[in-house]
């Protein structure tokens, strides 16, 4: 096993839910920018390919082992979410215009990788702080 600690169930559940919420946010922003409705049925119809691909990405990366890691967990989750989501959109007759693929790729990268980068920075800072505090307490 690597030097990374395994994540608890709460961290895994939070990470999975956050990924799903961010995919729905991406879909909602896209629907709003194209003057499409923000009703539950419309959002679900646009989001389902990406949510299924997100689940496949979690499985492919075994992201539950290290859900906060940008590499490889986050990158695999992101890549499978984009590629699988686009494939499912094609199969289901939804559009995959080149501009949409580019925007989806970049936006989902910012969302799915961005929160992991922030979490990693916060985790490192809190560990560094607790290390300094522990060192000061033992002196």
Backbone angles phi, psi at 118, to 5 degrees: -65, -45
Alpha carbons 124 and 128: distance in angstroms, whole number: 6
Mean pLDDT of the region 101-111: 98
- Identify the pLDDT of residue 90: 97
- Identify the pLDDT of residue 4: 57
Q: Decide which of 58 and 132 is more confident.
A: 58
- Identify the pLDDT of residue 133: 62
Name the pLDDT band for 7 (thresholds 50, 70, 90).
confident
To 10 degrees, the CA torsion angle through 118, 72, 68, 22?
A: 70
Give yes or no for a contact between 35 and 1, defined as CB atoms under 8 angstroms apart.
no
For residue 29 the two structure tokens come to 């922003």
- Counting every residue written for the chain, the total comes to 139
Q: Which of 4-8, 29-33, 49-53, 134-138 has the lowest mean pLDDT?
A: 134-138
* Mean pLDDT of all residues belonging to the chain: 91
Backbone angles phi, psi at 4, to 5 degrees: -80, 140
Mean pLDDT of the region 83-99: 96
- Identify the pLDDT of residue 3: 41
- Checking if the pLDDT of 1 tops 50, the result is no
Alpha carbons 112 and 88: distance in angstroms, whole number: 19
């Amino acid at each position: 096993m690597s030097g990374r600690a395994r994540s608890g169930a709460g961290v895994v559940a939070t990470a999975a839910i956050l990924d799903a919420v961010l995919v729905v946010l991406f879909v909602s922003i896209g629907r709003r920018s194209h003057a499409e409705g923000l009703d539950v049925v419309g959002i679900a119809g646009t989001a389902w390919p990406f949510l299924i691909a997100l689940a496949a990405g979690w499985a492919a990366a075994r992201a539950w082992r290290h859900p906060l890691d940008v590499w490889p967990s986050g990158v695999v989750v992101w890549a499978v979410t984009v590629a699988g989501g686009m494939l499912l959109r094609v199969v289901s007759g939804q559009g995959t215009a080149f501009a949409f693929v580019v925007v989806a790729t970049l936006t989902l990268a910012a969302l799915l990788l961005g929160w992991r980068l922030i979490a990693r920075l916060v985790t490192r800072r809190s560990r560094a702080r607790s290390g300094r505090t522990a060192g000061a307490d033992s002196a």
